[in-house]
Chains A and B, each alone.
Chain A
Protein backbone atom coordinates (compact mmCIF):
# COMPACT_ATOMS: atom_id res chain seq x y z
CA UNK A 1 0.00 0.00 0.00
CA UNK A 2 2.77 2.42 0.95
CA UNK A 3 4.77 1.57 -2.14
CA UNK A 4 2.33 3.59 -4.23
CA UNK A 5 2.74 6.73 -2.14
CA UNK A 6 4.46 9.61 -3.86
CA UNK A 7 7.84 10.07 -2.09
CA UNK A 8 7.05 13.67 -1.19
CA UNK A 9 3.75 12.60 0.37
CA UNK A 10 5.59 10.13 2.59
CA UNK A 11 8.22 12.74 3.46
CA UNK A 12 5.60 15.38 4.26
CA UNK A 13 3.67 12.89 6.36
CA UNK A 14 6.74 11.88 8.38
CA UNK A 15 7.99 15.45 8.88
CA UNK A 16 4.56 16.77 9.87
CA UNK A 17 4.09 13.89 12.31
CA UNK A 18 7.40 14.80 13.94
CA UNK A 19 6.50 18.51 14.13
CA UNK A 20 3.01 17.92 15.52
CA UNK A 21 4.36 15.47 18.11
CA UNK A 22 6.98 17.98 19.23
CA UNK A 23 4.39 20.74 19.45
CA UNK A 24 1.87 18.59 21.31
CA UNK A 25 4.28 17.90 24.20
CA UNK A 26 2.17 15.15 25.74
CA UNK A 27 3.54 11.69 26.40
CA UNK A 28 0.15 10.08 25.76
CA UNK A 29 0.06 11.59 22.28
CA UNK A 30 3.70 10.57 21.67
CA UNK A 31 3.03 6.97 22.69
CA UNK A 32 -0.05 6.89 20.45
CA UNK A 33 2.02 8.17 17.50
CA UNK A 34 4.76 5.64 18.23
CA UNK A 35 2.27 2.78 18.23
CA UNK A 36 0.56 4.05 15.07
CA UNK A 37 3.88 4.28 13.24
CA UNK A 38 4.86 0.80 14.44
CA UNK A 39 1.57 -0.59 13.08
CA UNK A 40 2.12 1.20 9.76
CA UNK A 41 5.65 -0.23 9.59
CA UNK A 42 4.30 -3.72 10.23
CA UNK A 43 1.69 -3.29 7.51
CA UNK A 44 4.32 -2.03 5.08
CA UNK A 45 6.43 -5.09 5.91
CA UNK A 46 9.47 -3.17 7.14
CA UNK A 47 8.95 -3.54 10.89
CA UNK A 48 11.91 -5.94 11.10
CA UNK A 49 14.25 -3.30 9.74
CA UNK A 50 12.74 -0.15 11.25
CA UNK A 51 12.30 -1.32 14.84
CA UNK A 52 15.88 -2.62 15.41
CA UNK A 53 17.34 0.48 13.72
CA UNK A 54 15.22 2.70 15.99
CA UNK A 55 16.17 0.64 19.05
CA UNK A 56 19.89 1.08 18.34
CA UNK A 57 19.39 4.86 18.20
CA UNK A 58 16.93 5.21 21.06
CA UNK A 59 18.24 2.77 23.67
CA UNK A 60 21.36 4.76 24.69
CA UNK A 61 19.38 8.00 24.64
CA UNK A 62 16.62 6.61 26.84
CA UNK A 63 19.06 5.07 29.35
CA UNK A 64 20.96 8.34 29.51
CA UNK A 65 17.74 10.36 29.99
CA UNK A 66 16.53 8.02 32.72
CA UNK A 67 19.80 8.18 34.66
CA UNK A 68 20.19 11.92 34.16
CA UNK A 69 16.68 13.12 35.03
CA UNK A 70 15.67 10.21 37.20
CA UNK A 71 18.52 10.76 39.64
CA UNK A 72 19.40 14.44 39.27
CA UNK A 73 16.55 16.88 38.84
CA UNK A 74 17.12 19.87 41.13
CA UNK A 75 13.81 21.44 40.06
CA UNK A 76 11.86 18.43 41.35
CA UNK A 77 9.69 18.85 44.45
CA UNK A 78 8.30 15.36 45.08
CA UNK A 79 11.21 13.19 46.17
CA UNK A 80 10.52 9.48 45.95
CA UNK A 81 13.92 8.31 47.21
CA UNK A 82 17.33 9.81 47.77
CA UNK A 83 20.91 8.61 48.18
CA UNK A 84 23.30 11.42 49.04
CA UNK A 85 23.24 13.94 46.18
CA UNK A 86 21.01 11.75 44.00
CA UNK A 87 17.26 12.22 44.37
CA UNK A 88 14.59 10.34 42.47
CA UNK A 89 11.80 12.83 41.85
CA UNK A 90 8.41 12.36 40.24
CA UNK A 91 8.97 15.47 38.11
CA UNK A 92 12.32 14.14 36.85
CA UNK A 93 10.87 10.78 35.87
CA UNK A 94 7.99 12.51 34.13
CA UNK A 95 10.37 14.78 32.23
CA UNK A 96 12.45 11.77 31.10
CA UNK A 97 9.25 10.00 29.99
CA UNK A 98 8.02 13.03 28.03
CA UNK A 99 11.29 13.49 26.16
CA UNK A 100 11.95 9.80 25.54
CA UNK A 101 8.49 9.18 24.05
CA UNK A 102 8.63 12.37 21.98
CA UNK A 103 12.03 11.46 20.51
CA UNK A 104 10.90 7.87 19.92
CA UNK A 105 7.84 9.02 17.96
CA UNK A 106 9.86 11.41 15.77
CA UNK A 107 12.66 8.89 15.11
CA UNK A 108 10.22 6.11 14.21
CA UNK A 109 8.22 8.32 11.84
CA UNK A 110 11.32 9.51 9.99
CA UNK A 111 12.86 6.02 9.87
CA UNK A 112 9.66 4.59 8.45
CA UNK A 113 9.93 7.14 5.66
CA UNK A 114 13.58 6.39 4.87
CA UNK A 115 13.08 2.61 4.95
CA UNK A 116 10.03 2.65 2.67
CA UNK A 117 11.00 5.35 0.17
CA UNK A 118 12.41 4.36 -3.21
CA UNK A 119 15.53 6.48 -3.64
CA UNK A 120 15.27 6.81 -7.45
CA UNK A 121 11.66 8.00 -7.11
CA UNK A 122 12.63 10.49 -4.40
CA UNK A 123 15.48 11.82 -6.51
CA UNK A 124 13.36 12.37 -9.59
CA UNK A 125 10.54 13.89 -7.52
CA UNK A 126 12.99 16.34 -5.94
CA UNK A 127 14.54 17.19 -9.30
CA UNK A 128 11.04 17.91 -10.67
CA UNK A 129 10.48 20.40 -7.83
CA UNK A 130 13.39 22.54 -9.12
CA UNK A 131 15.71 21.79 -6.23
CA UNK A 132 19.36 22.52 -7.06
CA UNK A 133 20.57 19.49 -9.06
CA UNK A 134 23.72 19.55 -6.92
CA UNK A 135 21.70 18.73 -3.82
CA UNK A 136 19.93 15.88 -5.56
CA UNK A 137 23.27 14.56 -6.80
CA UNK A 138 24.85 14.57 -3.34
CA UNK A 139 21.85 12.81 -1.82
CA UNK A 140 21.61 10.10 -4.48
CA UNK A 141 25.35 9.63 -4.76
CA UNK A 142 25.85 9.20 -1.02
CA UNK A 143 23.07 6.68 -0.67
CA UNK A 144 24.52 4.70 -3.56
CA UNK A 145 28.11 5.04 -2.33
CA UNK A 146 27.67 3.86 1.27
CA UNK A 147 27.30 0.11 0.61
CA UNK A 148 30.04 0.23 -2.03
CA UNK A 149 32.47 1.80 0.45
CA UNK A 150 31.72 -0.78 3.12
CA UNK A 151 32.66 -3.50 0.62
CA UNK A 152 35.78 -1.62 -0.34
CA UNK A 153 36.90 -1.36 3.28
CA UNK A 154 36.59 -5.14 3.61
CA UNK A 155 38.77 -5.62 0.50
CA UNK A 156 41.39 -3.16 1.82
CA UNK A 157 41.52 -4.98 5.15
CA UNK A 158 41.91 -8.32 3.42
CA UNK A 159 44.72 -6.95 1.27
CA UNK A 160 46.52 -5.49 4.30
CA UNK A 161 46.03 -8.70 6.27
CA UNK A 162 47.58 -10.60 3.40
CA UNK A 163 50.57 -8.30 3.86
CA UNK A 164 50.84 -9.05 7.57
CA UNK A 165 48.41 -6.61 9.28
CA UNK A 166 47.25 -7.98 12.62
CA UNK A 167 44.23 -6.40 14.34
CA UNK A 168 45.42 -6.99 17.89
CA UNK A 169 47.66 -5.52 20.56
CA UNK A 170 47.78 -2.18 22.35
CA UNK A 171 46.44 1.22 21.41
CA UNK A 172 49.46 2.18 19.29
CA UNK A 173 49.35 -0.93 17.14
CA UNK A 174 45.59 -0.50 16.74
CA UNK A 175 46.10 3.09 15.59
CA UNK A 176 48.73 1.86 13.17
CA UNK A 177 46.26 -0.68 11.81
CA UNK A 178 43.65 2.04 11.39
CA UNK A 179 46.16 4.16 9.48
CA UNK A 180 46.98 1.27 7.16
CA UNK A 181 43.28 0.99 6.25
CA UNK A 182 42.36 4.67 6.25
CA UNK A 183 44.99 6.01 3.89
CA UNK A 184 44.28 3.64 0.97
CA UNK A 185 40.53 4.16 1.43
CA UNK A 186 40.69 7.97 1.44
CA UNK A 187 43.21 8.08 -1.40
CA UNK A 188 41.10 5.77 -3.56
CA UNK A 189 37.93 7.75 -2.87
CA UNK A 190 39.53 11.09 -3.71
CA UNK A 191 41.02 9.71 -6.93
CA UNK A 192 37.63 8.30 -7.91
CA UNK A 193 35.96 11.62 -7.16
CA UNK A 194 38.38 13.35 -9.51
CA UNK A 195 37.57 11.12 -12.44
CA UNK A 196 33.85 11.32 -11.64
CA UNK A 197 34.07 15.13 -11.71
CA UNK A 198 35.58 15.05 -15.19
CA UNK A 199 32.93 12.64 -16.43
CA UNK A 200 30.12 14.76 -14.98
CA UNK A 201 31.53 18.00 -16.36
CA UNK A 202 31.87 16.43 -19.79
CA UNK A 203 28.12 15.70 -19.65
CA UNK A 204 27.18 19.28 -18.78
CA UNK A 205 26.51 18.73 -15.07
CA UNK A 206 27.66 22.21 -14.06
CA UNK A 207 25.40 23.99 -16.59
CA UNK A 208 22.13 25.65 -15.69
CA UNK A 209 20.12 24.15 -18.53
CA UNK A 210 16.82 22.46 -17.62
CA UNK A 211 16.96 18.70 -17.14
CA UNK A 212 14.62 16.09 -18.49
CA UNK A 213 13.92 12.91 -16.61
CA UNK A 214 13.17 9.44 -17.92
CA UNK A 215 11.46 8.55 -14.71
CA UNK A 216 7.92 9.73 -14.06
CA UNK A 217 6.49 9.52 -10.58
CA UNK A 218 2.67 9.65 -10.56
CA UNK A 219 1.31 12.30 -8.21
CA UNK A 220 -2.46 11.86 -7.80
CA UNK A 221 -4.47 14.96 -6.77
CA UNK A 222 -5.64 13.24 -3.58
CA UNK A 223 -2.05 13.05 -2.36
CA UNK A 224 -1.50 16.74 -3.18
CA UNK A 225 -4.49 17.60 -1.02
CA UNK A 226 -3.16 15.35 1.73
CA UNK A 227 0.20 17.13 1.63
CA UNK A 228 -1.40 20.55 1.79
CA UNK A 229 -3.58 19.46 4.71
CA UNK A 230 -0.64 17.93 6.58
CA UNK A 231 1.45 21.07 6.13
CA UNK A 232 -1.45 23.21 7.34
CA UNK A 233 -1.95 20.97 10.38
CA UNK A 234 1.75 21.14 11.26
CA UNK A 235 1.82 24.92 10.82
CA UNK A 236 -1.30 25.23 12.94
CA UNK A 237 0.19 23.07 15.69
CA UNK A 238 3.36 25.17 15.74
CA UNK A 239 1.39 28.44 15.85
CA UNK A 240 -0.81 27.20 18.69
CA UNK A 241 2.22 26.01 20.67
CA UNK A 242 4.06 29.31 20.14
CA UNK A 243 0.95 31.30 21.10
CA UNK A 244 0.38 29.19 24.24
CA UNK A 245 3.98 29.49 25.40
CA UNK A 246 4.29 33.21 24.72
CA UNK A 247 5.72 35.12 26.50
CA UNK A 248 8.57 32.64 26.88
CA UNK A 249 9.85 31.77 30.34
CA UNK A 250 11.46 34.70 32.11
CA UNK A 251 14.65 34.25 34.08
CA UNK A 252 14.03 34.48 37.82
Chain B
Protein backbone atom coordinates (compact mmCIF):
# COMPACT_ATOMS: atom_id res chain seq x y z
CA UNK B 1 0.00 0.00 0.00
CA UNK B 2 2.90 2.34 0.55
CA UNK B 3 5.02 1.61 -2.48
CA UNK B 4 5.84 4.70 -4.52
CA UNK B 5 4.66 4.67 -8.08
CA UNK B 6 7.23 3.04 -10.34
CA UNK B 7 6.10 4.45 -13.64
CA UNK B 8 5.98 8.18 -12.94
CA UNK B 9 8.94 10.58 -12.93
CA UNK B 10 9.94 12.22 -9.65
CA UNK B 11 9.21 15.92 -9.23
CA UNK B 12 11.95 18.20 -10.50
CA UNK B 13 14.34 20.22 -8.37
CA UNK B 14 12.84 23.58 -9.36
CA UNK B 15 9.32 22.43 -8.54
CA UNK B 16 10.58 21.31 -5.12
CA UNK B 17 12.05 24.73 -4.43
CA UNK B 18 8.84 26.45 -5.53
CA UNK B 19 6.85 24.30 -3.12
CA UNK B 20 9.26 25.05 -0.28
CA UNK B 21 8.74 28.76 -0.98
CA UNK B 22 4.97 28.24 -0.92
CA UNK B 23 5.24 26.44 2.43
CA UNK B 24 7.33 29.25 3.90
CA UNK B 25 4.95 31.85 2.49
CA UNK B 26 1.99 30.03 4.03
CA UNK B 27 3.62 29.79 7.45
CA UNK B 28 4.71 33.44 7.19
CA UNK B 29 1.17 34.53 6.29
CA UNK B 30 -0.22 32.83 9.40
CA UNK B 31 2.50 34.11 11.73
CA UNK B 32 2.44 37.61 10.23
CA UNK B 33 -1.34 37.84 10.52
CA UNK B 34 -1.20 36.83 14.16
CA UNK B 35 1.52 39.37 15.03
CA UNK B 36 -0.30 42.10 13.09
CA UNK B 37 -3.56 41.35 14.93
CA UNK B 38 -1.89 41.43 18.33
CA UNK B 39 -0.15 44.73 17.56
CA UNK B 40 -3.21 46.47 16.08
CA UNK B 41 -6.01 44.97 18.19
CA UNK B 42 -8.79 47.49 18.68
CA UNK B 43 -8.36 49.23 22.00
CA UNK B 44 -12.06 49.86 22.42
CA UNK B 45 -14.51 47.35 20.99
CA UNK B 46 -17.44 49.42 22.25
CA UNK B 47 -17.30 51.43 19.00
CA UNK B 48 -18.60 48.45 17.08
CA UNK B 49 -17.55 44.99 16.00
CA UNK B 50 -13.92 44.73 14.96
CA UNK B 51 -14.64 44.41 11.24
CA UNK B 52 -11.14 45.46 10.29
CA UNK B 53 -9.51 42.81 12.48
CA UNK B 54 -12.07 40.21 11.37
CA UNK B 55 -11.26 40.78 7.70
CA UNK B 56 -7.51 40.70 8.33
CA UNK B 57 -7.80 37.53 10.43
CA UNK B 58 -9.98 35.76 7.88
CA UNK B 59 -7.89 36.81 4.90
CA UNK B 60 -4.46 36.14 6.39
CA UNK B 61 -5.26 32.81 8.00
CA UNK B 62 -7.19 31.44 5.02
CA UNK B 63 -4.44 32.55 2.64
CA UNK B 64 -1.85 30.79 4.79
CA UNK B 65 -3.92 27.60 4.95
CA UNK B 66 -4.51 27.58 1.17
CA UNK B 67 -0.81 28.18 0.44
CA UNK B 68 0.11 25.28 2.75
CA UNK B 69 -2.40 23.02 0.99
CA UNK B 70 -1.08 24.01 -2.45
CA UNK B 71 2.50 23.41 -1.32
CA UNK B 72 1.95 20.04 0.33
CA UNK B 73 -0.87 18.37 -1.57
CA UNK B 74 0.77 17.69 -4.98
CA UNK B 75 3.81 15.95 -3.44
CA UNK B 76 1.95 13.60 -1.11
CA UNK B 77 1.98 9.94 -2.16
CA UNK B 78 -1.38 8.48 -3.09
CA UNK B 79 -1.33 6.21 -0.04
CA UNK B 80 -1.32 9.28 2.20
CA UNK B 81 -3.79 11.18 0.05
CA UNK B 82 -6.49 8.53 0.33
CA UNK B 83 -6.14 8.72 4.12
CA UNK B 84 -7.23 12.36 4.19
CA UNK B 85 -10.95 11.77 3.59
CA UNK B 86 -10.70 9.05 6.22
CA UNK B 87 -9.13 11.52 8.65
CA UNK B 88 -11.86 14.07 8.10
CA UNK B 89 -14.58 11.49 8.56
CA UNK B 90 -12.85 10.33 11.74
CA UNK B 91 -12.69 13.92 13.01
CA UNK B 92 -16.45 14.13 12.67
CA UNK B 93 -17.50 10.60 13.65
CA UNK B 94 -15.05 10.04 16.52
CA UNK B 95 -15.87 13.51 17.83
CA UNK B 96 -19.51 12.52 17.99
CA UNK B 97 -18.68 9.10 19.46
CA UNK B 98 -16.61 10.69 22.24
CA UNK B 99 -19.52 13.04 22.78
CA UNK B 100 -21.57 10.02 23.91
CA UNK B 101 -19.25 9.61 26.92
CA UNK B 102 -20.42 12.98 28.24
CA UNK B 103 -16.96 14.52 28.67
CA UNK B 104 -16.92 18.33 28.22
CA UNK B 105 -14.33 18.66 25.44
CA UNK B 106 -14.50 19.08 21.67
CA UNK B 107 -12.31 16.22 20.34
CA UNK B 108 -12.51 17.47 16.78
CA UNK B 109 -8.94 16.64 15.76
CA UNK B 110 -8.56 12.91 16.48
CA UNK B 111 -8.37 11.99 12.79
CA UNK B 112 -5.91 14.79 12.00
CA UNK B 113 -3.55 13.71 14.81
CA UNK B 114 -3.82 10.05 13.82
CA UNK B 115 -2.85 10.85 10.21
CA UNK B 116 0.00 13.06 11.39
CA UNK B 117 1.33 10.19 13.51
CA UNK B 118 1.10 7.73 10.62
CA UNK B 119 2.17 9.99 7.71
CA UNK B 120 4.18 12.93 9.06
CA UNK B 121 3.94 16.69 9.68
CA UNK B 122 3.29 17.79 6.08
CA UNK B 123 0.40 15.36 5.70
CA UNK B 124 -0.90 16.38 9.12
CA UNK B 125 -0.88 20.09 8.25
CA UNK B 126 -2.63 19.54 4.92
CA UNK B 127 -5.17 17.23 6.57
CA UNK B 128 -5.96 19.80 9.25
CA UNK B 129 -6.46 22.63 6.77
CA UNK B 130 -8.43 20.52 4.29
CA UNK B 131 -10.59 19.13 7.08
CA UNK B 132 -11.69 22.61 8.01
CA UNK B 133 -12.49 23.47 4.39
CA UNK B 134 -14.51 20.32 3.71
CA UNK B 135 -16.19 20.40 7.14
CA UNK B 136 -17.34 23.95 6.40
CA UNK B 137 -19.78 22.42 3.92
CA UNK B 138 -21.82 21.36 6.95
CA UNK B 139 -20.71 23.95 9.47
CA UNK B 140 -19.31 27.16 7.96
CA UNK B 141 -18.07 28.38 11.34
CA UNK B 142 -15.12 25.96 11.32
CA UNK B 143 -13.70 27.45 8.10
CA UNK B 144 -11.86 30.38 9.77
CA UNK B 145 -10.04 27.96 12.10
CA UNK B 146 -8.24 26.24 9.18
CA UNK B 147 -4.85 27.69 10.15
CA UNK B 148 -5.14 26.44 13.74
CA UNK B 149 -6.13 22.97 12.52
CA UNK B 150 -3.12 22.92 10.16
CA UNK B 151 -0.86 23.87 13.07
CA UNK B 152 -2.24 21.01 15.19
CA UNK B 153 -1.55 18.49 12.42
CA UNK B 154 1.94 19.86 11.79
CA UNK B 155 2.93 19.84 15.48
CA UNK B 156 1.48 16.35 15.96
CA UNK B 157 3.64 15.13 13.07
CA UNK B 158 6.73 16.80 14.53
CA UNK B 159 6.03 15.22 17.92
CA UNK B 160 5.66 11.81 16.26
CA UNK B 161 8.93 12.27 14.38
CA UNK B 162 10.63 13.28 17.62
CA UNK B 163 9.56 10.02 19.26
CA UNK B 164 6.86 11.42 21.55
CA UNK B 165 4.55 8.56 20.65
CA UNK B 166 7.09 5.84 21.52
CA UNK B 167 6.24 6.15 25.20
CA UNK B 168 2.57 6.34 25.96
CA UNK B 169 2.91 8.93 28.74
CA UNK B 170 4.77 11.37 26.43
CA UNK B 171 1.88 11.71 23.95
CA UNK B 172 -0.37 13.79 26.26
CA UNK B 173 2.62 16.00 27.09
CA UNK B 174 3.14 16.73 23.39
CA UNK B 175 -0.59 17.33 23.07
CA UNK B 176 -0.48 19.81 25.94
CA UNK B 177 2.24 21.84 24.22
CA UNK B 178 0.42 21.68 20.88
CA UNK B 179 -2.76 22.87 22.55
CA UNK B 180 -1.02 25.95 23.96
CA UNK B 181 0.22 27.05 20.51
CA UNK B 182 -2.98 26.12 18.67
CA UNK B 183 -5.14 27.87 21.23
CA UNK B 184 -3.09 31.07 21.04
CA UNK B 185 -3.25 31.09 17.21
CA UNK B 186 -7.01 30.41 17.13
CA UNK B 187 -7.89 33.03 19.75
CA UNK B 188 -7.98 36.04 17.35
CA UNK B 189 -10.49 34.20 15.15
CA UNK B 190 -12.79 33.50 18.10
CA UNK B 191 -12.38 37.07 19.37
CA UNK B 192 -12.61 39.14 16.18
CA UNK B 193 -14.70 36.99 13.84
CA UNK B 194 -17.19 35.44 16.25
CA UNK B 195 -16.83 37.69 19.28
CA UNK B 196 -16.88 34.72 21.64
CA UNK B 197 -16.93 30.95 21.85
CA UNK B 198 -19.84 28.71 20.99
CA UNK B 199 -19.60 26.40 24.01
CA UNK B 200 -21.37 27.31 27.25
CA UNK B 201 -18.52 26.02 29.43
CA UNK B 202 -15.86 27.93 27.51
CA UNK B 203 -18.16 30.97 27.42
CA UNK B 204 -18.36 30.91 31.21
CA UNK B 205 -14.55 30.99 31.48
CA UNK B 206 -14.37 33.94 29.07
CA UNK B 207 -17.08 35.73 31.09
CA UNK B 208 -15.04 35.25 34.26
CA UNK B 209 -11.99 36.92 32.71
CA UNK B 210 -14.14 39.70 31.25
CA UNK B 211 -15.63 40.32 34.69
CA UNK B 212 -12.09 40.93 35.92
CA UNK B 213 -11.75 43.67 33.30
CA UNK B 214 -9.69 41.92 30.59
CA UNK B 215 -10.10 42.93 26.95
CA UNK B 216 -12.08 40.44 24.86
CA UNK B 217 -8.97 39.23 23.02
CA UNK B 218 -7.02 38.73 26.25
CA UNK B 219 -9.96 36.92 27.88
CA UNK B 220 -10.38 34.53 24.95
CA UNK B 221 -6.63 33.88 24.77
CA UNK B 222 -6.61 32.99 28.48
CA UNK B 223 -9.65 30.77 28.03
CA UNK B 224 -7.90 29.02 25.12
CA UNK B 225 -4.85 28.50 27.31
CA UNK B 226 -7.08 26.73 29.85
CA UNK B 227 -9.24 24.53 27.58
CA UNK B 228 -7.12 23.76 24.52
CA UNK B 229 -4.10 22.11 26.18
CA UNK B 230 -6.36 19.73 28.14
CA UNK B 231 -8.38 18.93 25.04
CA UNK B 232 -5.34 18.29 22.86
CA UNK B 233 -3.62 16.22 25.57
CA UNK B 234 -6.66 13.92 25.59
CA UNK B 235 -6.86 13.89 21.78
CA UNK B 236 -3.17 12.95 21.49
CA UNK B 237 -3.68 10.19 24.07
CA UNK B 238 -6.67 8.82 22.12
CA UNK B 239 -4.68 8.95 18.87
CA UNK B 240 -1.80 7.09 20.56
CA UNK B 241 -4.21 4.49 21.93
CA UNK B 242 -5.67 4.03 18.45
CA UNK B 243 -2.25 3.79 16.81
CA UNK B 244 -1.26 1.04 19.25
CA UNK B 245 -4.63 -0.70 19.05
CA UNK B 246 -4.25 -1.08 15.27
CA UNK B 247 -2.39 -4.17 14.10
CA UNK B 248 1.32 -3.62 13.44
CA UNK B 249 0.84 -4.81 9.89
CA UNK B 250 -1.32 -1.75 9.26
CA UNK B 251 0.73 0.89 11.10
CA UNK B 252 4.19 -0.25 9.99
CA UNK B 253 3.07 -0.17 6.36
CA UNK B 254 3.57 3.61 6.49
CA UNK B 255 7.09 4.71 5.46
CA UNK B 256 7.02 7.60 7.98
CA UNK B 257 6.36 5.18 10.86
CA UNK B 258 9.18 2.85 9.77
CA UNK B 259 11.73 5.55 8.97
CA UNK B 260 11.52 7.56 12.18
CA UNK B 261 10.56 4.73 14.52
CA UNK B 262 7.39 6.59 15.48
CA UNK B 263 5.82 3.72 17.41
CA UNK B 264 7.47 1.48 19.96
CA UNK B 265 8.11 -2.12 19.04
CA UNK B 266 9.65 -3.77 16.04
CA UNK B 267 8.26 -3.91 12.54
CA UNK B 268 6.63 -7.23 11.77
CA UNK B 269 8.77 -9.51 9.63
CA UNK B 270 8.03 -9.23 5.93
CA UNK B 271 7.33 -12.57 4.31
CA UNK B 272 9.78 -13.53 1.59
CA UNK B 273 8.27 -13.23 -1.85
The interface centre, meaning the residue of A132, A179, A181, A197 with most chain B CB atoms within 10 A of its CB, is: A197
Query: CB distance B136 to A110 under 8 Å?
Result: yes
Expressed in whole angstroms, the Cα–Cα distance for A248 and B55 within the complex equals 12
Expressed in whole angstroms, the Cα–Cα distance for A63 and B102 within the complex equals 21
Report chain A residues within 8 Å CB of B53: 248
Q: Pick the contact of B130: A64, A71, A138 (CB < 8 A).
A: A138
Expressed in whole angstroms, the Cα–Cα distance for A248 and B100 within the complex equals 45
A10 located at the interface, meaning its Cβ lies under 8 Å from any Cβ of chain B in the complex = no
Closest to B243 in A: A186
Query: CB distance A22 to B43 under 8 Å?
Result: no
B97 located at the interface, meaning its Cβ lies under 8 Å from any Cβ of chain A in the complex = yes
Expressed in whole angstroms, the Cα–Cα distance for A102 and B103 within the complex equals 31
**Chain A contact residues, CB within 8 Å of chain B:** 18-19, 22-25, 53, 57, 60-61, 63-65, 67-69, 71-77, 85-86, 91, 95-96, 98-99, 102-103, 106-107, 110-111, 114, 132, 134-135, 137-139, 141-143, 145-146, 149-150, 153, 167, 171, 174-175, 178-179, 181-183, 185-187, 189-198, 200-201, 205-208, 238, 241-242, 245-246, 248-252
Query: CB distance B196 to A69 under 8 Å?
Result: yes
Report chain B residues within 8 Å CB of A68: 196, 203, 206-207, 210
Query: CB distance B250 to A174 under 8 Å?
Result: no
Chain B interface residue bracket vs A: 35 or more
B198 located at the interface, meaning its Cβ lies under 8 Å from any Cβ of chain A in the complex = yes
Q: Pick the contact of B5: A22, A111, A201 (CB < 8 A).
A: A201
Query: CB distance A25 to B51 under 8 Å?
Result: yes
Q: Pick the contact of A60: B90, B143, B199 (CB < 8 A).
A: B199
Q: Pick the contact of A69: B52, B59, B195 (CB < 8 A).
A: B195
B1 located at the interface, meaning its Cβ lies under 8 Å from any Cβ of chain A in the complex = yes
Report chain B residues within 8 Å CB of A192: 86
B200 located at the interface, meaning its Cβ lies under 8 Å from any Cβ of chain A in the complex = yes
Expressed in whole angstroms, the Cα–Cα distance for A106 and B141 within the complex equals 9
Expressed in whole angstroms, the Cα–Cα distance for A214 and B266 within the complex equals 47
B211 located at the interface, meaning its Cβ lies under 8 Å from any Cβ of chain A in the complex = yes
Query: CB distance A98 to B48 under 8 Å?
Result: yes
Report chain A residues within 8 Å CB of B139: 57
B180 located at the interface, meaning its Cβ lies under 8 Å from any Cβ of chain A in the complex = no
Q: Pick the contact of A182: B48, B97, B143 (CB < 8 A).
A: B97
Query: CB distance A251 to B43 under 8 Å?
Result: yes
Query: CB distance A179 to B141 under 8 Å?
Result: no
Report chain B residues within 8 Å CB of A191: 250
Query: CB distance A91 to B46 under 8 Å?
Result: yes
Known: A68-B203, A73-B210, A142-B134. A61 touches B198 (CB 8 A): yes
Closest to B246 in A: A187
Known: A85-B211, A149-B93, A187-B246. A242 touches B49 (CB 8 A): no
Query: CB distance A174 to B52 under 8 Å?
Result: no
